[in-house]
Chain A
Amino acid sequence: KQEVTQIPAALSVPEGENLVLNCSFTDSAIYNLQWFRQDPGKGLTSLLLIQSSQREQTSGRLNASLDKSSGRSTLYIAASQPGDSATYLCAVLNNDMRFGAGTRLTVKP
């Protein structure tokens, strides 16, 4: 059974800092890996989707990498802003989609 782990569980940084969120998974036979953002009490917002054949994806200040063989992905956020404060979830898809527990990010003004 696929297990997804995210570290750190929580992160607090001052505005403007670059930061990295980590995700690891146990079964490398995945179709893709997806990073989501979730604001308190809200649904999921898809940030980046990396197919199994890809190594990274970029969108604005976000960059996600995937190393399938080692079962790892990172989400890099550049020049963080208070509006980036949210919980970031990593999920991997093979026969179903499994989520990590998330990283709760707080960016202080």
Chain B
Amino acid sequence: GAVVSQHPSWVICKSGTSVKIECRSLDFQATTMFWYRQFPKQSLMLMATSNEGSKATYEQGVEKDKFLINHASLTLSTLTVTSAHPEDSSFYICSAWKSTGANVLTFGAGSRLTVL
């Protein structure tokens, strides 16, 4: 089956620092990956669509200079939260779309970011 690994599962950082979250498809190639953010007691909101070898497409209201997405290979996408602030504290989940086969997204386990 398709497996997506997300790392780290949780991170605590100081305000002003940058944090990188990795999303890897372990046993399949993913030309497209999606990044979601979930604030407490709210649903998952799509932040951006990450396409291998090209620039990410950001949803309205998501700052592309603050949330840097790099999808340099077919198995890895990274989300970097730059100059993190407490309001960036959230649960970040990635998902990967298998290039071939059924149209199904596989989700990572999520990364909980706490900015002090």
Contacts and interface: CB of A to CB of B under 8 A. Distances in A.
Interface of A: 31-32, 34, 41-44, 46, 49, 51, 89, 91, 93, 96-102
A44 B103 contact: no
A93 B43 contact: no
B108 A31 contact: no
Given A96-B34, A96-B46, 12 more contacts: A32-B103, A32-B104, A34-B105, A43-B109, A51-B102, A97-B34, A97-B105, A99-B36, A99-B43, A99-B46, A101-B43, A102-B43
B112 interface: yes
A100 B34 contact: no
Interface string B29-58: 000001010000011111001000000000
Interface of B: 34, 36, 42-46, 49, 91, 93, 95, 102-105, 107-110, 112
Residue among B34, B43, B103 with max Cβ neighbours from chain A (10 Å) = B43
Contacts of B95: 97
A93 B103 contact: yes
A98 B104 contact: no
Nearest to A31: B103
